[in-house]
Amino acid sequence: MKPTEAEKIVQIAKKHIFPTFARDASFFGKPASIVESGEGRHFTDIFGNRLLEPNSCGGAAPLGFNVPELVDAMIEQIKKINVTTPLFFSPTVPVPLLAQKIAEIGPKGMDYTIFGSNGTDANEAALKIARHYWKVKGKGGKFKVLHRVPGDYHGMGFGTASASGHAFRRTPYEPLMAGFPTFRAPNCYRCPFDMTCPECGLYCAEETRRLIEFEDPSTIACFIGECTNTGWGNVPPPPGYMKKIREICDKYEILMIIDEVITGFGKTGWWFEVQKEGFVPDIQAMGKGIVWGCGPLSGTHVRNEVYEVFTGKDALEHGYTFGGMGYLAAAGLAGIEYVEKHKLLARAQQIGEMMKKELGAIQDKSKIIGDVRVNGVLASVEYVKNKKTKEIFGDRAGVAALVRKVGIENGVLLPCSTWYGDNIILMIQMTMTDDELKQVFKAIEKATFAVEKEYL
């Protein structure tokens, strides 16, 4: 795009777009702020910058941009019928086929899916199902939702904000919904109990039991959480932690909701992280990767025993006008076929091993990388001012801006979160090549050196 045309678009954006995700109008004049096109793992902004994007649009595009097989599937379906809505018509053919495919690749004993438009929808539906379930079972006093802090972000609705571990995404909208008790999320690098795993005996999981007994199990409907805590900077759970939470939920008759909006559909090297962790949830929220970045689609996947109570007069009164568009379901199916054809689950595991090796090598040479966490294509590089004390930098925004600047100079858009310290958060596309990975590693190494030079 010509500079004059780009500046015109910037001015229009500043005048008419209400920025989201804690940005203001000044964002629109920066590199990568307005995108013109994309292909593979690269996008081009209106200023002519062509950048490698190793965050998959926040995990929403794990196959990259404009995959021909996905685009063709959408076009073929949309030519047949551009829209139907489940409120007024039956779903189009790709919708039940996608639900069937999810049941095949997902945890056993979970055969049913409600479709929505985004991750917030999926998690809101999960919370509603949990409360309704206990009413149908004659235990309407079970209404509370257990959730963890910090991290464990579940969406932008009032229910999901109430269950959020992000204080900065809660406080602007308080008072929020009642009945959402919290307990502390595990993080072995920054253990909230100042313990060491495995000697701790999974004390962090046992805290769940103490909270349940304090709140009274007869009042608790469900637990909601992620396995890998993406909202805290891609923090995987300690070994055995999730199975322990499953056992506790079973003992106290609490439904277990697992948010796989980010981790699902191959990113951990398994179709779903619950399979990697070896347990079956009662309800599973899906989004982002379910449609491989092609549009607004999500799913709330439920265990058969949960589904079976919602019949007759107790049928679930829930749904969205655009919850399950046929052309998006077609893209979802095409994406799953693409992953199977190109053996991308194995590739995700291979990428994870490469990241452990290369990021670990950078950490060994660095004065400021305190922790490197890798789970499949999900990774985080955590910067600290002091590796011994784990002190975070005072000017987190300044560190993040410098990382972004150096990344762009090296052709990579490095996403550096300032939520809890400075974390370069990676959600690598499963299709990324070895050469592209080397470019990411090189950009991280240069950004790390720049932060050391500027802030130590």
Residues 401/453, Cβ–Cβ less than 8 Å: no
pLDDT digits (tens, 9 = 90+) for 375-414: 999 999 999 999 999 999 999 999 999 999 999 999 999 9
Q: d(Cα 128, Cα 142) in Å, to the nearest integer?
A: 12
Which strand ranges, in their side-by-side order, compose the sheet holding 255-259? 112-116, 298-302, 283-286, 255-259, 220-225, 144-149, 182-184
Q: How far apart, in whole angstroms, are the C-alpha atoms of residue 343 and residue 417? A: 31
pLDDT tens digits, one per residue of 45-77: 999 999 999 999 999 999 999 999 999 999 999
Q: Tokens 């994309």, residue?
A: 38
Lowest mean pLDDT, pick from 7-11, 164-168, 281-285: 164-168
Residue 452 and residue 383: Cα distance in Å, rounded?
10
Taking the C-alpha atoms of residue 41 and residue 368, their distance in angstroms, rounded to an integer, is: 28
Mean pLDDT, the chain, whole residue set: 95
CA distance 27 to 25: 5
- Whether residue 144 has pLDDT greater than 80: yes
Q: How far, in Å, CA of 2 to CA of 228, rounded?
A: 43
pLDDT of 84 higher than 80: no
Please choose, from the candidates 266, 228, 286, the residue with its C-alpha nearest in 3D space to the C-alpha of residue 377: 266
φ, ψ dihedrals at 171, nearest 5°:
-60, -35
Average pLDDT over residues 263-274: 98
pLDDT tens per residue, range 329-367: 999 999 999 999 999 999 999 999 999 999 999 999 999
- Mean pLDDT, rounded, for 317-339: 94
Average pLDDT over residues 252-273: 98
Q: Which class is domain 70-341?
A: alpha beta
Single-letter residue type at 365:
K
Q: How far apart are CA 56 and CA 348, in angstroms?
A: 13
Q: What is the pTM of this model?
A: 0.96
- 197-226: average pLDDT: 96
Task: Give the end-to-end CA distance of the chain in Å, rounded to a whole number.
Answer: 40
- Structure tokens, 326: 């046929």
| The pLDDT value given to residue 82 | 87
| Alpha-carbon gap, residue 288 to 117, rounded angstroms | 10
Fold of the CATH domain 31-60+343-455: Aspartate Aminotransferase, domain 1 (3.90.1150)
Domain boundaries, given as residue ranges, for the chain: 31-60+343-455, 70-341
Share of the chain above pLDDT 90, in %: 92
Adjacency order of strands within the sheet including 422-427:
369-375, 378-383, 422-427, 416-417
Adjacent-strand bridge partners of 257 = 224, 283
Question: Average pLDDT for residues 271-300, to the nearest whole number?
Answer: 97
pLDDT at residue 90, as a whole number: 76
Choose among 17, 62, 10: nearest CA to 427: 62
Contact between 368 and 448 (Cβ < 8 Å): yes
